[in-house]
Amino acid sequence: MGRILLGGSGGPGGARGLGLAALLLAALYALLALPLLAGAERLVLRDTLVTHRPLKAFGAAALAAGEVPVINPTWALGQPFAGNPNALPFYPGNLAYLVLPFEGAFHFHFVLHGLIAFAAMRQLAAALGASRDGALFAGATYAGSGYLLSTWSFYNLLAVVAWAPFVLWGIVRGGRRGLLLGGVACGLMLLGGEPVTAALVVPAMALAGISRHGLRRGLLGALVVGGLGALIASPQLVATLRVLPWSVRALEGVDPRLVGAQDLHPARLLELVLPLPWGWPSDFGRLGTWSKRVTPFVPYIFTLHIGVVGLAAALAGVRRAGAWAGLAAAGLLGAWLGGQLPGVLSALSGGVFRYPQKLLFWFTVGAAVAAGLGFDRLLGSRRAGRALLATGGALAAGALLLWLGRAPWTARLTAAFAAPGAEATAAAHAVIWIVGLGLAGLLLAFAGWGAGRGSALALVAAQGLALAQLLPVVPRDEAALYREAPPFAAALGGRRALLVVPQTVPAWEEGAAYPGEVHRPAGLARLLHLDLDASTGVRRGLVYPLAPDLEGIYSPLQAELQRSLRHATWPQRVPWLRRLGVEAVVRARPEPVDGLVPLARESRWGVETTLAAVDGTARFPRWPRAVAAIADPGAAFRAVAAGAIAAEVAVAPRPIAQDPDGRIELLSERADRLVLEVESLGGVAVLGRAFQPLYRARLDDGRELPTLPVDLTLLGVEVPPGRHRITVGVSSRPEKLALLVSLAAAAAALAVALRRRG
């Protein structure tokens, strides 16, 4: 696939101009990429920080030990890992963690996939008929768009949208080579995770095939590419299907309130001209999100912006792009309608889809293709050049008029859109809008000058400068700050199981009154670091028994227990913290709690934060002195919370005869396998793992022992009388067999596709 990454089609514009244009784009990309690769900066926003970083930290350590575990014991008492698409457990890019330091490998993923997105769209545009310069322009428009840069907040989503244009290219190209290489790209896309966005690629695959090859041949090509992709992605598919039936997402579906959330307000179409009119993701303060009418939440996709020159090129290419322009329009319409008709969206997706802004993938792909084809219509056209000059002049003149009347303009903008308390932010953005309009006008005028003179370099340069305004979409912070051990780390004194109360979702306690600087991605990332959150703690050997369910992949028992703990009081929570093995608690509160022994105290940005040990926490595995049978989970929770059941008594859904004097010892423990030695007259052993139906418990002679949930969520093993060595584990054999199939399919496809004829 290396030759394809560098390939392109011929067309207007000399090699020298194309080389200079590529060099300019590379220099702009280096502003973002080099500090990350050099270790001077780190990414600090959203899922990249709070979800993917701890998952990759665990996965990298396991891979170094030669494993891809089914279970992740660092997270919520052991939740699925191999079956969690957010973890990308089988993605080939994970091999970078074997040869690079963790931070280097983590950030290499983002930088590499930005380049893949560029090369993939460049190749797709060329296959659809764009010139060499137009294909370069399309690649830059796609990879530098607000949508693509927004996906840098999601390790897995970026992998999906980076490979998607290569999938479409394979279908468009057709033939043995195209379909096989497209299938390999599809496999990589599916291994990248984020199944909802991967599903959104399917309509684009059908469009690519039908528009180029007709209905029958086009759909057949799309099926071949999709089928080969599924075969290559079979380890991930098998792993996910194994854990999905016992997950919150499958058993409870998506909260109906979330299905239509994160839709596209029509006023956000202004982002097609202005890069970030409604707030900067790198600043939740003075420049942050400010209009609750337009963006009630920080947007899932920060901005629609594809560069004002890219927008002009896309409009010029609408007629030539045909169906791709329709796909772009469908993306915009669907992202809006999804919020208006959430019931329809839920029904069409079987209740698993949320966030209509995900449909903006269609817009971005379609617009980038149209921009590549429209570029050729602009280049060398004096009429197009005059139109761009006139439009640019009008925007610049409008910006000047707004500047001269900025006081009444600011008042009108604030009155129309600002949320209460966001007036100062609205005033700052009023100026940003004026400056943005003026800059858009200048860039269009420069592009018009270049178009009239047939200068591909001028058009690409104008687009590159337009997209450079989107750098705030990728918030970063100084990496050196995170290399120092947080003060609380030393105070833990060997304790490993931590609860960080400020990071509970939903929150257990009202948020502390931090100053504005903390309410920015860099400030929040620093706070997480100091709190020993999982984004920092997993690499330091910490585990999080009550980590929040951010993906809907949790055991429903664990999810229900955590909901109950959220609504409980601290006196009711403490007995449960002991049972669940929580050893220490971080709280942004100074007041004491009975049962929590202070270890350390810090004042951070004027907020008193405490680290406390849980007095009398359980050690696992444990052998209870007795078992209380309570079938109703709510009644069991209340009984323990009220102190009606002693700490040495376990709670089970049915009666179990328990030897009070049994002895248990943990002989060895890995992510998917624990070995115990038990000597008793019979009863139940309690492990510090969340109950999962995948666990199997066996004696040395191969006899299988029953398992059951104990203390609402913990894994219990019923043990017969006598002295026994017991192995409790989850088999990864299905994933290993699927991996062999995947490797064989990928190798065969590449060998056949790259074989020279004759």
Which of 2-6, 113-117, 230-234 has the least mean pLDDT? 2-6
Sorting pLDDT into bands at 50, 70 and 90, what band is 331?
Answer: very high
Work out the average pLDDT over 683-687.
98
Confidence of residue 16 (pLDDT cuts 50, 70, 90): low
pLDDT bin (cut points 50, 70, 90) of residue 135 is: very high
How large is the average pLDDT for residues 30-59? 95
Quote the pLDDT of residue 143: 98
pLDDT over threshold 70, residue 6: no
Nearest to 365 by CA among 332, 341, 390: 332
pLDDT above 50 for 722? yes
Residue 550 has what pLDDT?
81
Give the pLDDT confidence score for residue 344 in this predicted structure. Answer: 82
What is the rounded CA–CA span in Å between residue 212 and residue 204? 12
pLDDT at 463 over 60: yes
Convert the pLDDT of each residue in 179-210 to its tens digit: 999 999 999 999 998 899 999 999 999 999 99
Q: What is the pLDDT of residue 48?
A: 94
Write down the pTM of the prediction. 0.94
Cβ contact 360:368 at 8 Å: no
CA atoms within 13 A on the CB side of 667: 11
What is the amino acid identity at position 63?
L
User: For residue range 300-315, what is the model confidence (pLDDT) as tens digits?
Assistant: 999 999 999 999 999 9
State percent of the chain over pLDDT 90: 82
Write down the pLDDT at residue 341: 87
Band the pLDDT of 5: cuts 50, 70, 90.
very low
What integer pLDDT is reported at residue 13 of this predicted model? Answer: 42
Check whether 12 has a pLDDT greater than 60. Answer: no
Mean pLDDT of 118-122: 98
* Amino acid 7: pLDDT: 36
DSSP assigned state of 48: I
**Are the C-beta atoms of residues 304 and 360 closer than 8 Å to each other?**
yes
Chain center to CA of 420 = 31
Mean pLDDT, residues 57-84: 96
- The span from the CA of 422 to the CA of 54, in Å, is 34
Q: How confident is the model at residue 424 (pLDDT cuts 50, 70, 90)?
A: confident
In this predicted structure, what is the pLDDT of residue 14? 55
Higher pLDDT pick, 347 / 213: 213
- Does the pLDDT at position 744 exceed 90? yes
Residue 1 — very low, low, confident or very high, per pLDDT cuts 50/70/90? very low
pLDDT in tens, 249-303: 888 877 767 778 899 999 999 999 999 999 888 887 778 877 888 998 889 999 9
pLDDT category at 630 given cuts 50, 70, 90 is: very high
| Long-range pairs of 335-340 with CB within 8 A, sequence gap ≥ 24 | 335/263, 335/264, 335/359, 335/360, 335/363, 336/263, 336/264, 336/265, 336/266, 337/263, 338/259, 338/260, 338/263, 339/260, 339/261, 339/262, 339/263, 339/264, 340/260, 340/263
List, for residues 336-393, the tens digit of each pLDDT value. Answer: 999 898 888 877 777 778 889 999 999 999 999 999 999 999 998 999 999 999 999 9
- For the chain, what is the mean pLDDT? 93
Q: What pLDDT is attached to residue 758?
A: 53
Before 506, cis peptide (omega within 30)?
yes
Q: What is the mean pLDDT of residues 556-579?
A: 95
Cβ partners under 8 Å of residue 481, min gap 6:
526, 529
